[in-house]
A = this chain, B = another copy of it.
Amino acid sequence: MQVQAERTTKKQAAEEYVQIDDAAWAPFPEAFSEGRITWRLLHVSPEMGSWTAIFACPAGSSFNPHIHTGPGEYLLTKGRMDVRGGREQGGDTAVAPGYGFESSGAYHDKTCFPVPSEFYMTFLGPLAFVRPDGSVIANVGWAEAQGAWDAFVSSRKAA
């Protein structure tokens, strides 16, 4: 037997810092939301499959129905967010400052913002945007989020 030679020693992942208010935010894709939500991608961990972003949601805006395939945690820093139908329908109504844990398998029929709101969220794994019959329109994970964000940055530079 020989000693394995090829294994590459891996380094500690780099630390990162993002100044959240130093650049424009992107329009969140209208295929998955309504009401001119904007967002900023803050981090992706391709090795783990996790990603982190912050979202600004005008009054009346909403995200389309989706399933959290993995756990997600949010900090609502401004406004109000009705998740899983809001408190009146058995879900939660977050009022800033509020924290929420959305578990793997959580179905968000529609997430609505009755007043101008802002929230930060960490995701493990993709969001599965779904049709009324439960079939998957698209999985949106770290790669898709990064792709959308990079396309926005490129378009701004080109402009």
- Residue A117 CB within 8 A of the other chain: no
Assembly CA distance A104 to B14 (angstroms)? 9
Q: List, in ascending order, chain B residues with CB within 8 A of A125's CB.
A: 49, 69-70, 124-126
Q: List, in ascending order, chain B residues with CB within 8 A of A138's CB.
A: 136
Q: Which of B3, B43, B44 contacts A24 (CB 8 A)?
A: B3
Assembly CA distance A52 to B77 (angstroms)? 15
Q: Which of A1, A99, A122, A139: most chain B CB closer than 10 A?
A: A99
Query: In the bound complex, do residue B70 and residue A12 qualify as a contact, i.e. CB atoms below 8 Å apart?
Result: no
- Residue A89 CB within 8 A of the other chain: no
A87-103 at interface with B (beta carbon < 8 Å): 91-92, 94-95, 97-103
A66-110 at interface with B (beta carbon < 8 Å): 67, 69-71, 73, 75, 77, 83-84, 91-92, 94-95, 97-106
Once A49-B70, A146-B9 are accepted as A-B contacts, the answer to whether A101 and B141 lie under 8 Å apart by CB is: no
Return the CB mask of A117-136 against B: 1 if under 8 Å, else 0: 00010101110100000001
Query: In the bound complex, do residue A3 and residue B157 qualify as a contact, i.e. CB atoms below 8 Å apart?
Result: yes
